[in-house]
Structure 1
Amino acid sequence: MTILPLRKFFAAAVVAVCLPLAPQVAAAAPAANLPDFTDLVDKVGPSVVNIRTTTRVTLSQGGGALPPGMDNGDMSEFFRRFFGIPLPQGPQGGQGGQGGQSPRGGQGGQGGQGSQGGQDSGPDNGDEQNSGVGSGFIMTSDGYVMTNAHVVDDADSIYVTLTDKREFKARLIGVDDRTDVAVVKIQANNLPAVNVGDSNKVRVGEWVVAIGSPFGLENTVTAGIVSAKGRDTGDYLPFIQTDVAVNPGNSGGPLINMQGEVIGINSQIYSRTGGFMGISFAIPIDEAMRVADQLKSTGKVTRGRIAVAIGEVTKDVADSLGLPKAQGALVSSVEPGGPAEKAGIQPGDIILKFNGQSVDTATDLPRMVGDTKPGSKATVTVWRKGQTRDLPITIAEMQTDKGAKADQKKAPEPKPRAANALGLSVTDIPADQLSQLKIKGGVVVDSVDGPAARAGLQKGDIILRVGDTDIANAKQFQDVTAHLDPQKMVAILVRRGDNTQFVPIRPRGPAQK
């Protein structure tokens, strides 16, 4: 007997009652131009794999976590009586870990045939516990498989299951946490590899398909459209945003266009519940393949760096600095002795181009620099004081992240000055502190009110520049601010801690507070 939800039951009843009374209308025309995914799934489906990870644990003598006096037979009876199911199998598989069992637990296909690549795992299988499940796809016919880095993180063993139910123990080739890409290798040949597409040709609104193992349900197909391109989520890469249903377990699976080409790797979802809410993100395949090629050849990814911290350029900052539009990357700090400092890049500069390529947003710059070979020469175009400057720079190799540090001693108790049109009282910075901060001038904020307070400035901030004028001392600061136009925004270059940024402020007029 099939029980329908009440909502469906009442809807059917209403239709049954109202149908005879409704005027007869022409049958609706069949829907046209709806996509058919069947051939696509037949083509790409065999290239998608399930990835299962395990971690090795130490079991206590006597079988582990069973209560005293209980054995597996007792627990089996408990599960049968109260849950109506057999005792869930442990890492050893069912019925004492017979030779035909796979590490998955249960039957694992046709005995030992189901784990050809995993036979080198040896007797240690009994100490393994399942730790995660995800998806992946076959890159090459000789067994290279791509997935997400977070799928295989902290795994002691990685198992790859094909659609024909063969399971292999995989060897980790390399991971790149920054892009969330990983490559593993299984011992197999003549595998069905995917066709790689061009993510730069993806169009918003086109149909796409995801295949993976959501919640461990293997070979699940979902479809939707591309919702946006170049979506910045704060990570290293811009993502392809879709409305394809993606859930835990889909991670690492392919995003496929209507030509059967992989255009992305399903990686993230936006969720308040832990499940799918209509927004999912995929790593563009072009970026993923560049990473995968390095992982295959060297086991790691080498990136360039110029040693700066950057931020977005807002419209207010752009307007106050005379930039035609809000673009580029605002340099907030420069690492002492790094490539940027040697090239003459300064906090407050806005990087507009890197090697002739336009830097439209701040997230563009790390990718451009990262793709540049360490040791090579490049040209950085910056906006400074209303003009562009081309600065030659030598790219260094990215290492452990570290920011520009400067020890700061507490400034002596400042002597207040009268607040000005910006609402700031400032004092000079002692020479020894200027040296420690590696700056040539500036003033320290003693008190804040009015426009500066509304803009977020704080006591202890250091003012380096007002508009295009570098500030050397408190007297000069007062002279410059005395002539500000209250009808125009002015950009104040502010250093707070190790970071430097522009803060747009509208000066107050004589009668304003």
Structure 2
Amino acid sequence: MRLFSSFRPVIGALLAGVLILTQTPSQATNHALPEFTALVAENGPKVVNISTKQAPAKPQDKGKGKRVPGNPIPELPEDSPLQDFFRHFFGDQGDSGDWPGDAEESRSLGSGFIVSADGYILTNAHVVEGADEIIVRTSDRREFVATLVGADTRSDIALLKLDATELPTVKIGSAKDLQVGEWVLAIGSPFGFEHSATAGIVSAKGRNLPTENYVPFIQTDVAINPGNSGGPLFNLDGEVIGVNSQIYSRTGGFMGLSFAIPIDVAMDVFEQIKAKGRVSRGWLGVLIQDVTRDLAPAFGLTQPRGALVAQVMPDSPAAAVGLLPGDVILTYNGKDLPISSALPPLVGTTPVGQAAHLELLRKGQPLTVEIKIAELPEDDQSADSSDESDAASESDTPNRLGMVVRELPAESRDELGIEQGGVLVAAVKEGPAAQAGLAVGDVVLTLDNQAVDDLAGFNRILESLAPGRSVAVLIQRGEGRMFYALHLPKP
């Protein structure tokens, strides 16, 4: 009896659950899994397989291999049954050693989809990068040699053209109304298996990856693998809402995180490449960073938000209107910026020459600025120019921040492009500076939002800071600038 009594609540709950399920069959019907067969049948012929040919690698380059971004080839034991599989499909992409085919023309595999009946096809730029010949195979087994109209590496979109007519075309949708949790379907050629369909849900929107500043990626849990790159992502209405581009993986295969370029971004690139052969993007001319919880109080914010300006590029739109390091951009054309990565896609899609309205916080005070957007220039190469010769000796005594600073030599200032001011971090000991992440070779440009003119000026500002405060310090490391939060110790 005691044993039965102890299970009575459980049995009652189970019976209640059965009763609820039997009384509400419509709920189970309403939440049934979606049916994809019609969607796949209709759109399968509109998805193509893409392979490329490249000249044989030079002897000094053999064994280096080429990688599809986000899809590294896994390291496998020599007796693994997958060795032949990967060698067959990826030829010269191994991490080491000479696989069969190293001396032959290499082939990369990807996917694409037809966007116009006269032969325009969208795919990823990395699928066709460096190709000498691009071969497109349709679902009815026809093969075409495609012409590369243009490619945009910043968005990872390429436009191909086939000499064909009356091709079946996909229906273009929009990712703007896409909801997290919504069902989506991918069709592509994972590992060369053509016209494979995989399904999942939207996991997140507006993801910004470290190497991609201008694409607010759609994150899904759709199984995406090497060969899916460039293929379409459909919603349940059969509309393309994304271009499958990258995965997060430690093995080379799918691990539950895949990323697609919103079709709105891809179609903007398509129109620009088709019209003028290149893509132009808006440019403010600032280097930005996130406002962390530690930095927020130092800039008059009650909680982290916005894009913190760490550097203003010379001869840029930002410089023309007087933006300053330490400004926090809160909105862009009326759109809130919860994190700094939300700003670049908004700026990038703004037409060159158009005015944009920024709401800022400067030293705790609100400010509105109108700025004329310029065209984003080509990437500049940066270099680390830290001067090891000015390192501190063991006898130097660190300041209350736990670091030793010295005057910045004129030659170092010229190398780093610093017009005036700044002090060089010569040593970092235990203390607030080390905890914040400062390093030897950093140049301190501002402390507590005050410009550091020289060593005497730095020490004067430091002496005026009350214990127990959190202050912002702007440092230059190489050619990049960033704010750090320093917690001043209490006595």
Query: TM-score band, normalised by the shorter chain?
Result: 0.7 to 0.9
Contact 2:51 2:134 in 1 (8 A): yes
- Aligned position for 1:150: 126
Contact 2:174 2:241 in 1 (8 A): yes
- The 5 A counterparts of 1:44-443 are 44-55=43-54, 129=105, 131-234=107-210, 235-236=212-213, 237-402=215-380, 419-429=398-408, 437-443=417-423
Deviations along 1:21-52, whole A, 9 cap, x unmatched?
xxxxx9x9897412111111122222111122
Which of 488, 496, 508 aligns to 2:469? It is: 488
Deviations along 1:370-423, whole A, 9 cap, x unmatched?
223334444444433222334444433233211688988899899998644323
- Please state whether the residue corresponding to 2:294 is helix, strand or coil: helix
CA distance in 1, matches of 2:357, 2:420: 25
Deviations along 1:302-330, whole A, 9 cap, x unmatched?
12323333322222112332223322333
Q: Give the AA of the match of 2:138.
A: L
- Aligned position for 1:104: none
Deviations along 1:44-91, whole A, 9 cap, x unmatched?
222111122223569xxxxxxxxxxxxxxxxxxxxxxxxxxxxx9xxx
Deviation at 1:256, TM superposition (A): 0.8
- Please state whether the residue corresponding to 1:199 is helix, strand or coil: coil
Q: Give the AA of the match of 1:484.
A: L
Deviation at 1:148, TM superposition (A): 1.0
Q: Which moved more, 1:292-301 or 1:329-338?
A: 329-338
CA distance in 1, matches of 2:114, 2:338: 34
Larger Rg: 1
CA distance in 2, matches of 1:483, 1:283: 50
Contact 1:312 1:329 in 2 (8 A): yes
Contact 1:181 1:288 in 2 (8 A): yes
CA distance in 2, matches of 1:153, 1:435: 37
- Please state whether the residue corresponding to 1:383 is helix, strand or coil: strand
Q: Give the AA of the match of 1:36.
A: E
- Pair 1:445 & 2:425 matched: yes
Deviation at 1:146, TM superposition (A): 1.0
Distance 1:194 1:424, change over 3 A: same
Contact 1:344 1:391 in 2 (8 A): no
Distance 1:500 1:399, change over 3 A: closer
CA distance in 2, matches of 1:473, 1:420: 15
Deviations along 1:189-248, whole A, 9 cap, x unmatched?
222211111211111111111111111111111111112212222213121111111111
Q: Which runs of 5+ in 1 are unaligned?
A: 1-25, 59-87, 89-126
- Aligned position for 1:43: 42
Deviations along 1:131-176, whole A, 9 cap, x unmatched?
1221111111222111111111122222222222222222221111
- Aligned position for 1:13: none
Distance 1:357 1:251, change over 3 A: same
Distance 1:189 1:413, change over 3 A: closer
CA distance in 1, matches of 2:54, 2:412: 52
Deviations along 1:230-285, whole A, 9 cap, x unmatched?
22222131211111111111111111111111111111112122112222111111
- Aligned position for 2:12: none
CA distance in 1, matches of 2:50, 2:56: 20
Distance 1:153 1:411, change over 3 A: closer
CA distance in 2, matches of 1:397, 1:439: 25
CA distance in 2, matches of 1:261, 1:300: 26
CA distance in 2, matches of 1:387, 1:48: 53
TM-score, normalisation: structure 1: 0.72
Which of 447, 451, 465 aligns to 2:446? It is: 465
Q: Give the AA of the match of 1:444.
A: L
Q: Give the AA of the match of 1:134.
A: G
CA distance in 1, matches of 2:308, 2:298: 14
- Please state whether the residue corresponding to 1:221 is helix, strand or coil: strand
Contact 1:421 1:482 in 2 (8 A): no
Contact 2:333 2:356 in 1 (8 A): yes
Contact 1:421 1:509 in 2 (8 A): no
Deviation at 1:439, TM superposition (A): 4.1
Contact 1:348 1:501 in 2 (8 A): no
Distance 1:443 1:385, change over 3 A: farther
Q: Give the AA of the match of 1:208.
A: V
CA distance in 1, matches of 2:403, 2:390: 18
Contact 1:321 1:467 in 2 (8 A): no
Which of 435, 459, 464 aligns to 1:454? It is: 435
CA distance in 1, matches of 2:138, 2:384: 54
Distance 1:56 1:483, change over 3 A: closer
CA distance in 1, matches of 2:386, 2:288: 21
CA-atom RMSD in angstroms = 3.3
- Please state whether the residue corresponding to 2:226 is helix, strand or coil: coil
- Please state whether the residue corresponding to 2:421 is helix, strand or coil: coil
- Please state whether the residue corresponding to 1:200 is helix, strand or coil: coil
Distance 1:353 1:411, change over 3 A: farther
Distance 1:375 1:409, change over 3 A: farther
Q: Give the AA of the match of 2:218.
A: I
Q: Which runs of 5+ in 2 are unaligned?
A: 1-17, 58-87, 89-102
- Aligned position for 2:62: none
CA distance in 2, matches of 1:215, 1:459: 46
Q: Give the AA of the match of 1:255.
A: L
Distance 1:471 1:143, change over 3 A: same
Q: Give the AA of the match of 1:300.
A: R
Deviation at 1:429, TM superposition (A): 4.6
- Please state whether the residue corresponding to 1:346 is helix, strand or coil: coil
Which of 485, 498, 504 aligns to 2:479? It is: 498
Contact 1:46 1:163 in 2 (8 A): yes
Distance 1:175 1:452, change over 3 A: same
CA distance in 1, matches of 2:399, 2:301: 26
CA distance in 1, matches of 2:388, 2:427: 16
